[in-house]
């Protein structure tokens, strides 16, 4: 793809979509169309030299409009969030199937050359994630299917729709299964935030307030791997331009317990907190890690930012956002990334 070709990024007002637009700009792409349902003021990052559109992609006519002329489409639009959100919004999460269906149809009608779909580790069979020992999930572990209720089933269905659009209609589709992505410009409060941002925020709250306590959801021994945003945007580009047909894990293989995640955030903050475990809070699966054998085989690469390094950058960014909000600086919180 040339730097004059039109790229469409959907979900561009969100964390990963906004980061992807930022990367494409810095690589010299000059014809980027960025679309999100959120009003402009709520986009995490927004750039004046990009065609920004606030449109609801649940509607087919909007998908047709934004796909027009797009040589590549990166479909990151979805209703989603961390465990606190997806556990309580299963129907809403499943409705994202409208976006994916209409975007695939629009891409096909437009003659789009490549279509990237962002799937999730939530497609994996829950039975394989019952142990706390951070089971490494291979791509084949999505079947027999028993995905995360609501959100995971929609992702699995839409992955398959991508496959069949490729097989039956000849649309070049590429799919990555993201494992818990974190970093600056990500959601850090409001209910959709994931564990890394939530833990950073809670540690900052404790530090600033002088109340040296933290509430942790679950027992703290759940395991996860967390992928830094730069690895995610690198991986999206590598997978989209590759000839890999099957959905591929895009995640870090550095598994930690949630307690270890809290240890790191405390160390960055230079503080030790009393831990209170809320066993009634949304927990998701007990253990999950990304098996990276397949991505290594195909790309000789895998996400490799150490969690400690990425978390420090994330912590510092959230700290600045938090302090700006404390000072009552209007518009800094949700609109922190707007037009920079």
Q: How many residues bind ligand GDC (CB under 6 A)?
A: 25
- 283 near ligand GDC (CB under 6 A): yes
Cβ proximity of 72 and 7 under 8 Å: yes
Q: Which helix (H) or strand (E) covers residue 181, if one does?
A: strand 181-182
Report the residue number, 34 or 147, with the smaller CB distance to ligand GDC: 147
277 is catalytic: no
Report the residue number, 67 or 80, with the smaller CB distance to ligand GDC: 80
Using CA atoms, how far apart are residues 86 and 128, in angstroms rounded to an integer? 20
Q: Which of 7, 35, 80, 232 binds ligand GDC (CB under 6 A)?
A: 80
Cis upstream peptide for 144 (omega within 30°): yes
Beta bridge partners of 241: none
Report the residue number, 193 or 231, with the smaller CB distance to ligand GDC: 193
x/- map, 231-270, ligand GDC, by CB under 6 A:
---------------------------x------------
Cβ proximity of 5 and 69 under 8 Å: no
Beta bridge partners of 196: none
In the range 159-218, which residues lie near ligand GDC by CB under 6 A? 178-180, 193-195, 198, 216-218
Stretch of 15-23, 32-40, 75-83, 316-324 lying at the interface with ligand GDC (CB under 6 A):
75-83
- Count of C-beta atoms within a 10 Å radius of residue 91: 8
Using CA atoms, how far apart are residues 62 and 56, in angstroms rounded to an integer? 7
Stretch of 50-58, 134-142, 160-168, 280-288 lying at the interface with ligand GDC (CB under 6 A):
280-288
Report the residue number, 58 or 260, with the smaller CB distance to ligand GDC: 260
Cβ proximity of 18 and 181 under 8 Å: no
> What is the pairing mode between strands 289-290 and 136-137?
parallel
Q: Which of 16, 53, 104, 121 binds ligand GDC (CB under 6 A)?
A: 121
Task: Write down the catalytic residue from 151, 182, 319, 322.
Answer: 151
Tokens 């969690």 belong to residue: 307
> What is the pairing mode between strands 114-120 and 72-75?
parallel
x/- map, 33-52, ligand GDC, by CB under 6 A:
--------------------
Using CA atoms, how far apart are residues 7 and 21, in angstroms rounded to an integer? 9
152: tokens are 């995971």
Using CA atoms, how far apart are residues 186 and 206, in angstroms rounded to an integer? 20
Q: Which of 66, 104, 122, 255 binds ligand GDC (CB under 6 A)?
A: 122
Q: Which of 221, 282, 294, 304 binds ligand GDC (CB under 6 A)?
A: 282
Report the residue number, 112 or 222, with the smaller CB distance to ligand GDC: 222
- 138 near ligand GDC (CB under 6 A): no
Q: Residue of minimal CB distance from ligand GDC? A: 82
340: tokens are 């920079």
Using CA atoms, how far apart are residues 321 and 326, in angstroms rounded to an integer? 9
For the bound state, the minimum distance from the C-beta of residue 56 to ligand GDC, rounded and expressed in Å, comes to 21
Closest by CA to 184, choosing from 203, 195, 197, 201, is: 197
Report the residue number, 50 or 216, with the smaller CB distance to ligand GDC: 216
Report the residue number, 123 or 171, with the smaller CB distance to ligand GDC: 123
Q: CA of 99: how far to CAs of 39, 93, 327, in Å? A: 18, 11, 38
Cβ proximity of 192 and 81 under 8 Å: yes
For the bound state, the minimum distance from the C-beta of residue 104 to ligand GDC, rounded and expressed in Å, comes to 20
- 222 near ligand GDC (CB under 6 A): yes
As annotated, the active-site residues are: 151
Residues that bind ligand GDC (CB under 6 A): 80, 82-84, 86, 120-122, 178-180, 193-195, 198, 216-218, 222, 224, 258, 281-284
């Amino acid at each position: 793809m040339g730097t004059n070709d039109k790229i469409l990024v959907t979900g561009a007002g969100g964390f990963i979509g906004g980061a992807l637009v930022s990367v494409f700009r810095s690589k010299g792409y000059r014809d980027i169309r960025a679309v999100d349902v959120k009003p402009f003021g709520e986009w995490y990052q927004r750039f004046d030299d990009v065609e920004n559109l606030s449109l609801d992609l649940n509607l087919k006519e909007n998908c047709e409009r934004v796909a027009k002329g797009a040589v590549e489409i990166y479909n990151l639009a979805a209703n989603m969030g961390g465990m606190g959100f997806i556990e309580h919004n299963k129907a809403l999460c499943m409705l994202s199937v409208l976006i994916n269906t209409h975007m695939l149809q629009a891409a096909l009608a437009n003659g789009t050359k490549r279509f990237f779909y962002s799937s999730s580790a939530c497609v994996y069979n829950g039975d394989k994630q019952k142990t706390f020992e951070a089971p490494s999930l291979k791509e084949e572990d999505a079947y027999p299917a028993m995905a995360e209720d609501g959100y995971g089933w929609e992702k699995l269905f839409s992955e398959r729709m991508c496959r069949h659009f490729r097989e039956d209609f000849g649309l070049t589709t590429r799919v990555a299964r993201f494992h818990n992505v974190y970093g600056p410009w990500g959601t850090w409060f409001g209910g959709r935030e994931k564990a890394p941002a939530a833990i950073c925020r809670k540690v900052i709250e404790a530090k600033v307030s002088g109340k040296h306590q933290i509430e942790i959801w679950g027992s703290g021994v759940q395991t996860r791997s967390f992928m830094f945003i730069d690895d995610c945007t690198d991986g999206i580009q590598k997978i989209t331009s590759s000839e890999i047909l099957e959905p591929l894990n895009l995640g870090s293989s550095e598994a930690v317990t949630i307690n270890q995640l809290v240890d790191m955030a405390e160390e960055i903050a230079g503080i030790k907190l009393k831990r209170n475990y809320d066993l009634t809070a949304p927990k998701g699966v007990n253990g999950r890690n990304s098996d990276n054998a397949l991505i290594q085989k195909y790309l000789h690469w895998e996400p490799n930012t150490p969690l400690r390094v990425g978390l420090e950058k994330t912590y510092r960014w959230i700290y600045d956002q938090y302090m700006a909000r404390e000072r009552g600086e209007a518009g800094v919180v949700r609109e922190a990334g707007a037009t920079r």
